[in-house]
Amino acid sequence: TYNLDAQVGESSACATALLCGVKANFETVGLDGGGRFEDCFSSYNSRVESLLSWAQQEGKLY
């Protein structure tokens, strides 16, 4: 997988893509394309749910 704003993928953004189904920017985790590295205010509206939160909502905790 790849990042939205870089040619080369890195672990946090690639993990977001795999576990949340949403491509992410370089060096961000759990945020969509609106989230920016070192910009805390951008995270308020950019958070995405993950596979873990979907499983917890269905009662599959273990």
Which residues are designated catalytic?
11
CA distance 35 to 44: 8
Supply the Cα-derived Rg of the chain in whole angstroms. 12
Strand partners, 39: 36
Query: Is residue 18 a contact partner of residue 50, using CB atoms and an 8 Å limit?
Result: no
